[in-house]
Structure 1
Amino acid sequence: MKNVDYIIVGDGYAGLFLAHQLIKNNKSFVIFSEGRKSASQISAGIINPVVLKKFTTFWKAQEQIDFLKDSLKEIETYTGENYLINAPIHRIFHDENEQKLWLKKSGNEELSAFLDKKFGSLNGVKNDFQTGKVNQSARLNVNGFFSGLFSYFEKNDHLVKERFDYTKLNPSESVYKDISFKNIIFCEGMGVKENPYFSEIAVVPNKGHHIKVKLSQPIQENITIKKKHFLFPTGNGLYFYGGTYDRDQLHHHIDDSAVTQLVNGLSEFYPCDFEVEEVHFGFRPTVKDRRPIIGRHETLHNLYVFNGMGARGILNGCYFARDLFRFIENDIPLHEEVSSKRFQ
């Protein structure tokens, strides 16, 4: 029988940032990974404190950005790599009204640290009304982050490469197969709908597509361009462009309409030829009030849920992993805004 403090079920941002909290606090754990690519693993990895449709920010944005940067430095101490890519977002303005709105909002106390007051112009793309730079924005090296952490887990005997079987869990004895545990945390994204202990939580799938394209003329490397969607280089001569948001077309194959939307979106500002080389999609677990869902099972007090990271999975997963850890270990109450109890 193997004894651990924690079992983590799920291998997206929530699960991996939670594992980081356990490593940092010398807790023993195993993490279950089926080996299928989660929505997190195909995500753009954008780290962005601003909602770029309306030029607003969100709850705890500055705290989350600061905490993420610190956490990535801590992760570097055991993986040997920092996965933060300093490639700030440059938002292409649609018209003069957007320029004016940006300037007006940049005077707001909560936005002044994020919206650069100086406008710029980019080479190689159409930006007739210039661009605004989002200060403190960046990207995560998504492939590096997942492969680096999985490799660390494997070397240190934390990784269980199999699908979690709920029928083999005995919560009253704190045993799963041949593993005894103190706490088990389900970080399964949309997989939670098959979880008999937490299937009722209020997460809604949001399907996102992105394309990988080959551009006939390269663009500036050290930035992330945003108009309708995000464009940035991924290496191998390819560029990521995406992602879409769809709450209706939830079948498990590619939507041609989403691909058309992306091709049209890119054509709007990229004036040269490009070829679509790959299409990917995933299902983000979103919540009506755009806050994660974190909590303890009502009767089985060694079972927890950590879900609903939505489109800000990196920031939410990183920041709230600490809150969940403190809740379990030190009985520090969760923010009402993220507690699973808010829906009861």
Structure 2
Amino acid sequence: MEHVDYIIVGDGYAALFFAHQLIRNRKSFRIFSEGNKSASQVSAGMVNPVVLKKFTTFWKAQEQIDCLKHTLNEIEGYTGKNYLINAPIHRIFHDENEQQLWLRKSDVEELSYFLDKDFRFLDMVNNPYGVGRVNQSARLNVNGFFNDLFSFFEDRSYLIKDKFNYEKLNPSDSSYENLSFNHIIFCEGMSVKNNPFFSEIPVVANKGHHIKVKLSRPLPEDITAKKKHFLFPVDENLYFYGGTYDREQMHHQIDESAVQQLKNGLSEFYPFDFEVDEIHFGFRPTVKDRRPIIGRHELHKNLYVFNGLGARGILNGCYFSLALYEFIENGIPLPEEIDLSRFKK
């Protein structure tokens, strides 16, 4: 029987960022991936320290941004590429009230690092009230990140392209088929509902659609524009626009109403013709208190869950993968705000 330090089940941001912690600490592991595109893999890849509806920030935003930059530099050390695209978000104001709210919020200390006080105007789009730039924002090259890391795993025989079978897991002797392990980490997103060990964790699906469009007149520079949704180029002729939020329509099919919502949203500020080329959707695992769910199984001490990253999967996945690793390997307690045990109180 082959022995590894860790088994990872999942193929989204939580799984890959935790795998990075294992690589940097020279731990052996196997990662299970069914090969289906997770919500992470069809995400916009936004790296954004600001809630752009209310112009507020969130818990540990600066620490998470700093951690991501450092981590992506480490990953570049073995893939040879850095996946951070420095194209700051430009928030298009709906009206003068939003413009003035942005100005007031930019004087708040915790937001002053993120909200640029100098308004500007973008060419080729309707923005009569101007736009505000989100400093320290960027986006991840999502396809490059996942493709390169999975290639790296496969080349080193870390990757198991198969569905994880819970019936073959024996927690009492830490074995799964011909593998023995020290720890197993379940990073399954909404698939956790099928996991008999962690199916009760309170994650709620949030369905998101995005479209890829061909613009009749391309934007003059590589920026990320945002009014209701994000617009940015993904290659020479194609732009990403999305994504929506829906907690009601949970079927695994395209919702035409969501597609129409996206078309209407883009038409609000892009005054020229465009053509929808692709439609994608995924299910984000969200939590009521907007914190990830991380922790150890109550009975099986070698089983862990890493879930509930929500719409900030990149930042949450990167930052809290280190917290989970330090908890397992060095006994450093998890922050109460993310600990699975908070739901037992």
Partner of 1:221: 221
Distance 1:321 1:222 in 2: 31
Q: Where do 5+ consecutive residues of structure 2 fail to align?
A: none
Deviation readout 1:12-61 (Å, 9 max, x if unpaired): 00000000000011100000000000000000000000000000000000
Distance 2:257 2:207 in 1: 13
Which residue identity is paired with 1:244?
Answer: T
Partner of 1:73: 73
Give the C-alpha shift of residue 3 in structure 1. Answer: 0.7
| Aligned residue-pair number | 344
Partner of 2:64: 64
- Please report the TM-score for the alignment, with normalisation by the length of structure 2: 0.99
Give the C-alpha shift of residue 108 in structure 1. Answer: 0.5
Is the CA contact (8 Å cut-off) linking 1:221 and 1:232 kept in structure 2? no
SS at match of 2:311: helix
Give the C-alpha shift of residue 147 in structure 1. Answer: 0.5
Deviation readout 1:132-184 (Å, 9 max, x if unpaired): 00000000000000001001101111100000000000000100000000000
Distance 1:96 1:258 in 2: 28
Is the CA contact (8 Å cut-off) linking 1:221 and 1:233 kept in structure 2? no
Distance 1:47 1:254 in 2: 26
2:176 maps to 1:143: no
Which residue identity is paired with 1:333?
Answer: P
Distance 2:36 2:268 in 1: 34
SS at match of 1:139: strand
SS at match of 2:148: helix
Distance 2:25 2:226 in 1: 38
Distance 2:286 2:36 in 1: 20
Partner of 1:326: 326
Which residue identity is paired with 1:146?
Answer: F
Give the C-alpha shift of residue 221 in structure 1. Answer: 3.0
Which residue identity is paired with 2:166?
Answer: Y
Q: Which runs of 4+ in 1 moved over 4 A?
A: none
2:29 maps to 1:29: yes
Which residue identity is paired with 2:55?
Answer: F
Give the C-alpha shift of residue 285 in structure 1. Answer: 0.2
SS at match of 2:266: helix
Distance 1:223 1:339 in 2: 37
Which residue identity is paired with 1:208?
Answer: G
Q: Where do 5+ consecutive residues of structure 1 fail to align?
A: none
Distance 2:157 2:5 in 1: 14
Partner of 1:268: 268
Give the C-alpha shift of residue 236 in structure 1. Answer: 4.2
Partner of 1:114: 114
Distance 1:252 1:22 in 2: 33
Identity, % of aligned positions: 74
Which residue identity is paired with 2:307?
Answer: N
Give the C-alpha shift of residue 222 in structure 1. Answer: 2.1
Deviation readout 1:196-243 (Å, 9 max, x if unpaired): 000000000000000000000000332100000000000041100000
